[in-house]
Amino acid sequence: MRPEVQAFFDPATFTVSYLVTDPATRVAAIIDPVLDFEPKAGRLSTRSADALLAAVQAQGLTLAYVLETHAHADHLTAADYLRRQTGAKIVIGASIVEVQKTFIPVFEAEIAADGAVFDVLMNEGDSLPLGELTIGALHTPGHTPACLTYLIGDAAFVGDTLFMPDYGTARADFPGGDARTLYRSIRKVLELPAQTRIFVGHDYLPEGRSDYRWETTVAEERDRNVHVGGDVSEEAFVALRQARDATLAAPTLILPSLQVNIRAGALPEPTAAGNVFLRIPVTVAA
């Protein structure tokens, strides 16, 4: 079956959020919503999330789930905001517990490393109903330990695991990331039927392209992905990925993002004065 897929592109973080609908029942899910954050001013906005909610309302949809492909390091998630507005359940991979165990001590976050701030933890092979459609889970770690690819009808939502064929693949140098694991996860995705639609989590314009894109197919990725297309071996990919990752700076929003995203998008508790603070760990050079 073929779900309806609407994309919402955030140019500030190059993130693509998706509204996925079962056409028969009008039950919907949102994938990877963005909470707008201006780091220089410390200002949060729900503009992007409100655009998603407006589309849900205008089309008469019932929002059942907010699906997170992983704990993002490049944007804050609006999952908790959408849950509070609609009652939709937040879904993420069960290995989010590993990510929480890594980053809760970094930020001294006052939450338990048990995934309980999310509503549904999915393992590979688990499924959820989306009207007459089914949401399946494919565990695709490598970028992070908790990355999931969501399979809905003829569509696969891969998060950061794969990008458009002319851009390649996700970085694998975050804590818990691993290039060899990423290669094997990508191969699992590329074993899906050739006509499967792939929807990526970001688009960064490669040299020679001026328009943003986010939909491709398994066949196109198999044939043309600049990092894993054709017959690229695991060893060649690992060497390429590790060399490329060594040149990459940390994402601009990694510190605010991770401490919010391991909380499913909820902000830390306000102080007695009613102020909310995000923590920036400081490493003092020797």
pLDDT in tens, 96-153: 999 999 999 999 999 999 999 999 999 999 999 999 999 999 999 999 999 999 999 9
pLDDT in tens, 185-205: 999 999 999 999 999 999 998
**What's this model's pTM, rounded to 2 decimal places?**
0.96
Q: What CATH number should be reported for the domain holding residue 110? A: 3.60.15.10
Residue 225 domain-assigned (yes or no): yes
Residue 245 domain-assigned (yes or no): yes
Residue 286 domain-assigned (yes or no): no
Query: Measured between alpha carbons, how far is 64 from 98 in angstroms, rounded to an integer?
Result: 26
Q: Could you list the residue range(s) of the whole structural domain that residue 63 is in?
A: 4-261
Residue 270 domain-assigned (yes or no): no
Average pLDDT over residues 12-33: 97
| Count of domains forming the chain | 1
Residue 271 domain-assigned (yes or no): no
Residue 286 has pLDDT above 90, yes or no: no
Buried b (16+ CB within 10 A) or exposed e, 48-72: bbebbbebbeeeebebbbbbbbbbb
Tally Cβ neighbours within 10 Å of residue 109.
18
Closest CA to 279 of 263, 93, 155: 263
Residue 229 domain-assigned (yes or no): yes
SS3 for 219?
Answer: helix
pLDDT in tens, 245-276: 999 999 999 999 999 999 999 999 999 999 99
Based on its alpha-carbon atoms, the radius of gyration of the chain, rounded to whole angstroms, reads 18
